[in-house]
A and B are shown apart, each in its own frame.
Chain A
Amino acid sequence: MKKLFLLLTVAMLSACTSSIHMSQVDVGSNDANNVDIGKVIEIEKSQKNILGFVYDTDYVDLAYKNLLLECPNGTSMINVEYLTNHGFFSWTDKIRIKAVCL
């Protein structure tokens, strides 16, 4: 009974850990780097990774294509975040893009 309680506690505590590997902000190299605060868009794409095996390896390309579609005139400022959500013998890699469209 004690061990079962311990296992349940561990299972509850172990859920939902994450790790942010990188978060970078950049502005365009236009004349005055003037950030015109227009539409801010958010894109998130992910890939499920089970014991190192993945199929959807184009998630970053998809995020980039979405960015081009949502900001057809380009971006004046961009924040790219790359993180991992951990799981049971598996994990989910995610890319989150926030951008200020021109």
Chain B
Amino acid sequence: MPIKLKSILGLSFLLMGGCSQLHHVHIGDIDQSQGTLTPFTIQVNELGFDLAKTAEIGAEVAKSSSTSEDLELVAFILAISNFGPKTGNPVYNDAYAAKVLAEVIKVCPSKKLTGLTSVREATNVGPVSGEVVSIKGYCINNNQTNNI
């Protein structure tokens, strides 16, 4: 019974513990003098997965000591094989944000842009996360009244 309660508690924390984390934000020039502004948002994301952390968790919860040792070894190998600075969890596709420039150009037919805000953030649920790059901004319409 106590083990069951612990499992439920652990699972609840894992599911409810999802949280957003801001890594980087950049705000560009804002020009409100050229016409009405139409906001837009472009968001691309990729699954982030920390395999080493998962193996460590597995080693902690493994029942037999040999399994635990094996998983610790796996976590160590993964850690040394994926060396380097990390922002959020590692991803298996380094080109997921490659199309943001093309998307920004596509979303604004007038080709007049202002107030571009670039955000790098993540939503974490344990060792899994959604690694997000989003670009927010305003498309300047051709008439002369302001309307943010």
The residues of A with any CB-CB pair to B shorter than 8 Å are 3, 6-7, 10-11, 13-27, 29, 31-37, 40, 49, 51, 77, 79, 81, 83-94, 96, 98, 100
Contacts and interface: CB of A to CB of B under 8 A. Distances in A.
Contacts of B70: 3, 6
B91 A17 contact: yes
A25 B133 CA distance: 11
A49 B84 CA distance: 8
Nearest to A98: B101
Interface in B39-79: 51, 70, 74, 77-78
A16 B51 CA distance: 12
A25 B42 CA distance: 11
Tell me what chain A mostly uses at the interface: helix, strand, loop, or mixed. strand
Given A10-B77, A22-B118, A33-B34, 19 more contacts: A11-B81, A13-B78, A17-B90, A19-B87, A19-B91, A20-B97, A20-B120, A21-B87, A22-B23, A23-B100, A23-B133, A26-B26, A26-B28, A27-B116, A79-B104, A83-B94, A87-B83, A90-B84, A91-B84
